[in-house]
Amino acid sequence: MNAILVTGATGNIGGPLVARLVSAGAEVRAVTRDPNAAMFPDGVQVVTSAAAALDGVSAVFLNSRALGDELASVVTAARRVGVTRLVALSAINADDDFARQPSRFRGDRNKEVEQFAVDSGLEWVSLRPSVFVSNFVGMWAPQIRAGDLVAGPFARASIAPIADRDVSAVAAHALLTDELVGQRIPLTGPQALTNAELVDVVGGVLGRRLFYREIPADHVRQHFVDMGFPAGFADAYIGLLAATVDTPALVTHEVDKILGRPAESFAEAVSASQGLFINQQGREYV
């Protein structure tokens, strides 16, 4: 097997993916902007440019946020040097109106990365995960460290969050086997939960009673803007959640089918990140 090139190799998906590929015996090249700060398993070749590291590569994991403006040129170069497979990290809502895709305002090009892979003439797989569990940890951990309230929009909005590690595991399967070639694969967690229910789950993991306080959408929008997010991100985030109020989120069982085991639950994924809910003195707030 020739090398596998992983873009976004220090991210929540790319990091575990690199480790899985190495454990499977693959030769891995990991793309990172800061090779001196990156920590990878022994034997991983660390590179700073995807385009410059394609010779001798058989498969590429495409992370559109990591590649930025290089996305198109990397796909073109991959075809030219004889890469045989592209695995694209897209999203479950890639076909939705861009105004309902908040991740676009943070650099994701979910529709485009999938289309580049499909149109490349190479073997392709497109992974379409739902919201990552890590997103909730990032949004809610600071509030939970400070008290028992999590404030946000639409308590009844429904989500089926997927554990980041499950996305990495499916990506490894797509890169190492032929089973998923030519598929767009919607990936979700095993259960649809409302925002209020998700907070209850976090509380159960931490052994605390937590509460979700719904706040008006216009307050949420202003909060994002005050934090430096583009107004478009705030509008897309609010619109995305508003569309799911009282409508259970799609739950697929592709993780189970592909990996031969149940998808990780929200509680299991949060449990693995408990340390982020603890204050600097090492004590949980009660």
Query: What local confidence, expressed as pLDDT, does residue 284 receive?
Result: 37
Query: What local confidence, expressed as pLDDT, does residue 279 receive?
Result: 65
Query: 91: domain CATH number?
Result: 3.40.50.720
Give the integer Cα–Cα distance in Å for 101 and 6: 24
Domain assignment present for 10: yes
Q: What sections of the chain are H helices per DSSP?
A: 14-23, 64-67, 71-81, 110-119, 133-146, 164-176, 195-206, 217-226, 231-242, 254-259, 266-271
| Residue type, position 192, single letter | A
Range of the domain at 50: 3-132+161-189+250-263
Domain assignment present for 203: no
Query: What local confidence, expressed as pLDDT, does residue 1 receive?
Result: 59
Domain assignment present for 175: yes
Query: What local confidence, expressed as pLDDT, does residue 215 receive?
Result: 95
Query: What local confidence, expressed as pLDDT, does residue 93 receive?
Result: 95
Domain assignment present for 219: no
Query: What local confidence, expressed as pLDDT, does residue 283 receive?
Result: 38
Domains in the chain, number: 1
Query: What local confidence, expressed as pLDDT, does residue 113 receive?
Result: 98
The rounded average pLDDT for each run of 10 residues, N- to C-terminus, in the chain (286 residues) is: 92 96 97 84 94 96 97 97 98 93 94 98 98 94 94 96 98 98 98 97 96 95 90 93 93 98 97 80 35
Query: What local confidence, expressed as pLDDT, does residue 274 receive?
Result: 83
Domain assignment present for 31: yes
- Its sign, for the CA torsion 133, 69, 95, 116, is negative
Q: Helix, strand or coil for residue 228?
A: coil
In angstroms, the Cα distances linking 120 to 4, 70, 112 are: 17, 15, 12
